[in-house]
Homo-oligomer: A and B are copies of this chain.
Amino acid sequence: MTTLHTLPWLRTADELHCSVAALVELLGGHAEAASGLADEQFGVQRVARGASLLHEGAPAHAVYVVQSGSFKCVKTAEDGYEHVLGFAWRRDLLGYDGLAGAHYAFSEVALEDSRVVVLPLTGLDALRRRVPELDAALQAKLARQLALAGDIAEVMAAVAADVRLARFLVKLAARMAERGESARRLLLRMNRRDIANHLGLAHETISRSFGELVEAGWLRVNNRDVQILDPEGLRQCARCTRGVADETPLRCAA
């Protein structure tokens, strides 16, 4: 895998802790106001590639915020088939379903070596009351996750395989842009099988659909390096509720 790009977060070995202010900022809230309020430090946990940060069904005792790296959110069926519910990157919240207090509903598996800030549930309520900025930030994140859940349903609602993939890529690009990264060049951290399980398709179909999107001229694909050549075209393809990317009037060859 391309773990080549992983350099940036080996920041001075290990500051394996994170202040409340830094956390609020990581969550996208207003950190300034919160800076003086609490001087607790949260722990930071490393998760090796392929390791699972939390296990479906296990009792919940913390929520996590991704500091670096990426995760896939997985729900494993009894027959071993694992459905990939979504992916998470820096600033995303993990284990939020554990806020219900009982058990985690999903597993979170690291796609690369990653780090997360640990927010133990014990005392979290009290801290939220003491630091309204943290409360607001968590609240907003939670609502955001809800909206994302709607997105995945939207993606899977597409009938045609290539439209599903197009939607997936569009959403992905949007999230990347939101995160300040390039929306034109996606360096996928997950393999085809993960994407397939996410979209409810066979991984062979993913491969073929990539091919179709490339042929249509929307993309250039090199393994996990995806360049979006024509964002508007891709979006248009993603819009198709029913028909495939058939009405492509232009194909150099044809």
Q: Which residues of A contact B (CB under 8 A)?
A: 75, 77-79, 81, 83, 85-86, 96-101, 105-106, 125, 129, 132, 136, 139-140, 142-147, 149-150, 152-154, 156-157, 159, 197, 200, 239-242
Classify the secondary structure of A's interface with B. helix
A99 (CB) vs chain B CBs: closest residue: B143
4 tightest A-B contacts by CB? Answer: A149-B149, A100-B143, A81-B241, A99-B143
Residue contact A239 to B79, C-beta cutoff 8 Å? yes
Could you say how many copies of this chain the assembly holds? 2
A240 (CB) vs chain B CBs: closest residue: B79
Residue contact B147 to A77, C-beta cutoff 8 Å? no
Residue contact B145 to A146, C-beta cutoff 8 Å? yes
Residue contact A153 to B156, C-beta cutoff 8 Å? yes
Given contacts A152-B153, A200-B156, A81 and B242 within 8 Å (CB-CB): yes
Given contacts A140-B101, A239-B77, A153 and B153 within 8 Å (CB-CB): yes
Pairs across A and B, CB under 8 Å, 10 listed:
A83-B153, A97-B143, A98-B143, A100-B144, A149-B152, A149-B153, A152-B153, A153-B156, A156-B157, A157-B200
